[in-house]
Structure 1
Amino acid sequence: MFGRKNRLSYKLDYSLPLSTKLIDMSFTVFDTETTGFSIDTHDRLIEIGAVHVEKLEVTDKTFQTFANPSREIPTHITALTSIEQGHVDDAPSSLEAIKNYFQFVEDNKSNSWIGHHLNFDTMVIKKELQRAKYSYEMPSSFDTYALINYIMPNLKALDLEEYAKLFGTKIFERHRALGDALTTAHLFVEIIKRSEYQGITTLADLLRTKNKHLILL
């Protein structure tokens, strides 16, 4: 699982043909919770949640771990997430939590990561690994927020729960990593299934949505 010293990696197939059908791909949908948004400075990871999507179906394969932030959780974060200090004091370090998450990704032979406002979650992982003097190779990834903007460019910005209501998908426990990952996974599957009407059926088609606006039927 682990590559050369101070580089964290996992065994994934990076050589998928662009013609690979999306229904033949495996996705890891994940989310993080943190002590706040100042990830570059003092805020830290406190939870990772993930779910496996295969054949454009949300599976029952899930992952959840707390992470010890080595600092107090602010009261407003506890109020928002219900994550208390007692949940994290004996939790794995951020590095160990991320290693465990990567093992989940590898075990499920994931081809791509999915998230809602994905840049924040990947930045959380990147910063925590930097603190531990590790780096990692970012896999192919897609952001449900960005995908919605591509297929519905005139839609005003909404939060995750509002998007789920708009698309008629399931809503799980909010502001918890696994709950938001599950909500995002069902939303992602619905977005892709609707996008089939616009010819978005392969990895190449999905990659092209990063450069092209689509109209959702």
Structure 2
Amino acid sequence: MREIVFDTETTGLSFSNGDRLVEIGCVELFNRVETGQTYHAYFHPERPMAPEAQAIHGLSDAFLADKPLFAENCDDLLEFLGDSPLVAHNASFDFGFLNGELKRCGRQMLSLSRMIDTVAMARTRHPGAKHSLDALCTRFGIDRSHRVLHGALLDAQLLAQVYVELTGGRQIGLTLVSEMVEHAASPVDASRSVVRPQRIFAASTEEAARHSQFLEGVNNPLWGPLETR
């Protein structure tokens, strides 16, 4: 199953109050395994950056000055997302900004039925514990030493590892009865499982005869004469 783990950075906390999306990072998973396919973009917010937000992600007005508007890259983003389930940490926040930008440029908003919230998952699995991305990385032994500031793609990559742990760990991808067959047309194409036929391990009549002939040629075998076995 294809899933997209994503994270956003914004100018503030509320799209309805005028804040805007300035960065999005997406990581593709197939059967809970990263495929190496990612999407990352910065956007000009058409408003000044709040100092409090800049202190978190480090994105200044000067850095964003030459970046495209969200509407200019909207098609590329939607193509990458496809119709896959979308995983985010405190997902209602990220969905609120993403759907706000989509609505603003006249596009259909994403269905909330696609939303998977890792905060809700963590609260169910570890009630009473801390559920920040940093805390979950520490809990699961995920290296976050390179996370000095928040960054959408870096945080999505860390969250992808957290999500795998929250859904059973890396062993869930192991299987002895199926193999992945991926269509190469595009990174958003679906994949399917093919059941392998049962393998026969019994020796053939010819192989059994050769084996008996070999044993008969062994002098003083530890297992004794063949006729006594």
Give TM-score, length-normalised by structure 2: 0.67
SS in 1 for 2:168: helix
Give, in whole Å, the separation in 2 of the partners of 1:194 and 1:183. Answer: 14
Partner amino acid, structure 2, of 1:133: G
SS in 1 for 2:131: coil
Give, in whole Å, the separation in 1 of the partners of 2:5 and 2:124. Answer: 19
The correspondence for 2:107, drawn from 131, 134, 137, is 134
The aligned counterpart of 2:119 is 145
Q: Please give the per-residue CA displacement for 1:94-114, whole angstroms capped at 9, x wherever unaligned.
A: 2233432212223xxx63110
Give, in whole Å, the separation in 2 of the partners of 1:49 and 1:195. Answer: 22
The aligned counterpart of 1:201 is none
Partner amino acid, structure 2, of 1:186: Q
CA-CA distance at 1:115 after TM superposition: 0.5
Partner amino acid, structure 2, of 1:63: Y
1:167 partnered with 2:143: no
Q: Identity rate of aligned residues, in percent?
A: 27
1:96 partnered with 2:80: no
Partner amino acid, structure 2, of 1:38: S
Shift of the 144–195 alpha-carbon distance from structure 1 to 2, 3 Å rule, reads farther
Q: Once superposed, what is the RMSD of the aligned Cα atoms?
A: 2.2
Which of structures 1 and 2 has the larger relative contact order (alpha carbons within 8 angstroms, sep 6+)? 1
CA-CA distance at 1:196 after TM superposition: 8.4
Choose 1 or 2 for highest CA Rg: 2
The aligned counterpart of 1:122 is 95
Q: Please give the per-residue CA displacement for 1:139-186, whole angstroms capped at 9, x wherever unaligned.
A: 52211111112222x233331111111122243534111111111100
Partner amino acid, structure 1, of 2:108: S
Partner amino acid, structure 2, of 1:188: Y
Shift of the 158–89 alpha-carbon distance from structure 1 to 2, 3 Å rule, reads same
Q: Is there any run of 5+ residues in structure 2 with no aligned partner, and where?
A: 173-229
Give, in whole Å, the separation in 2 of the partners of 1:76 and 1:140. Answer: 30
Give, in whole Å, the separation in 1 of the partners of 2:29 and 2:143. Answer: 15
The correspondence for 2:162, drawn from 187, 201, 214, is 187
Partner amino acid, structure 2, of 1:193: G
Deviates further, 76-85 or 129-138 = 129-138
Q: Is there any run of 5+ residues in structure 1 with no aligned partner, and where?
A: 1-24, 198-217
Shift of the 124–84 alpha-carbon distance from structure 1 to 2, 3 Å rule, reads same
Give, in whole Å, the separation in 1 of the partners of 2:169 and 2:34. Answer: 16
The correspondence for 1:45, drawn from 2, 16, 21, is 21
Partner amino acid, structure 1, of 2:168: K
1:74 partnered with 2:47: no
Shift of the 75–117 alpha-carbon distance from structure 1 to 2, 3 Å rule, reads same
Partner amino acid, structure 2, of 1:178: L
Partner amino acid, structure 2, of 1:191: L
Q: In the TM superposition, what are the counterparts of 1:23-62 in structure 2 within 5 Å? A: 25-62=1-38
Residues paired across the two proteins, number: 169
The aligned counterpart of 2:61 is 85
Give, in whole Å, the separation in 1 of the partners of 2:134 and 2:60. Answer: 23
Give, in whole Å, the separation in 2 of the partners of 1:98 and 1:145. Answer: 27
Give, in whole Å, the separation in 1 of the partners of 2:44 and 2:107. Answer: 18
Give, in whole Å, the separation in 1 of the partners of 2:75 and 2:92. Answer: 19
Shift of the 61–78 alpha-carbon distance from structure 1 to 2, 3 Å rule, reads same
The correspondence for 2:84, drawn from 108, 111, 115, is 111
Give, in whole Å, the separation in 2 of the partners of 1:33 and 1:84. Answer: 12
